[in-house]
Amino acid sequence: MKDLRQDGYCVLENALPDEIAQSLLAEVTSSNIDYRQANIGRAQDHQLNQSIRSDAIKWINKESPAETLWVEQMENLRLELNKQLFLGLFSYESHFAHYPIGAFYKTHLDAFHGQANRMLSTVYYLNPEWPENAGGELVIYNPENHQEEIIRVQPKLGTLVIFLSEEFPHQVLPATRPRQSIAGWFRVNNSSHNKIDPPE
């Protein structure tokens, strides 16, 4: 949390209780998840260029006990962040993401200055084995200099990354094995031009 306040991002290993990590891992290995190509996502997806990502996703909606545990954890985190950092986070949305071998997500921002209501991005990884040379790292770049890498994160089970959605360009490198995660966004309630977003 201190790092998040100072640097705008943080990386937490073993971020959630073990039984919750295990239950989410069981969920993604059960192959019960109905993944869809991410680039035909919903209207709020601010993706301009659909060729930049090749993952498949499933939005989380408390449809299983594991999803419910996840949503509860992130609700606790939302309240904690609001208490400690005064962020006024209003809601949270998240999806499972499956990156098949070779899949990627090229450098992008999760929100755009001015119009954004995504304030904080989270990524939680669900890969129990991840060799150093398997690729698939999340690479985060300096907001002041988009060429400069500031951190590379291995997508290991239990690691949670949090960063300011409007500030940090980032990408997912292709991997030599399938890669599982949950990507999510804490939102602020941003109303403008008669449009209330998120909708009520």
Ligand X SMILES: O=C(O)CCC(=O)C(=O)O
Distance, CA of 89 to CA of 186 (rounded, Å)? 6
Least Å from the CB of residue 19 to ligand X: 23
81, 110, 117, 157: which one contacts ligand X (CB under 6 A)? 110
Facing residues of 140 across strands? 151, 170
**Judged by CB under 6 A, does residue 175 bind ligand X?**
no
Q: Which of residues 92-131 bind Fe ion (CB under 5 A)?
A: 110
Least Å from the CB of residue 161 to ligand X: 7
Among ligand X, Fe ion, none, partner that 24 touches (CB below 5 to 8 angstroms by kind): none
Cβ-based nearer residue to Fe ion, 157 or 161 = 161
Q: 193: which residues sit within 8 A by CB, 6+ positions away?
A: none
Q: Minimal CA–CA distance to 26: which of 65, 58, 52?
A: 65
Report the 10 Å Cβ neighbour count for 72: 12
Q: Quickly list H helices, the chain.
A: 2-7, 18-29, 65-85
Cβ-based nearer residue to ligand X, 117 or 181 = 181
> Using CB under 6 A as the criterion, which residues of the chain lie in contact with ligand X when the complex forms?
97, 105, 110, 123, 138, 170, 172, 181, 183
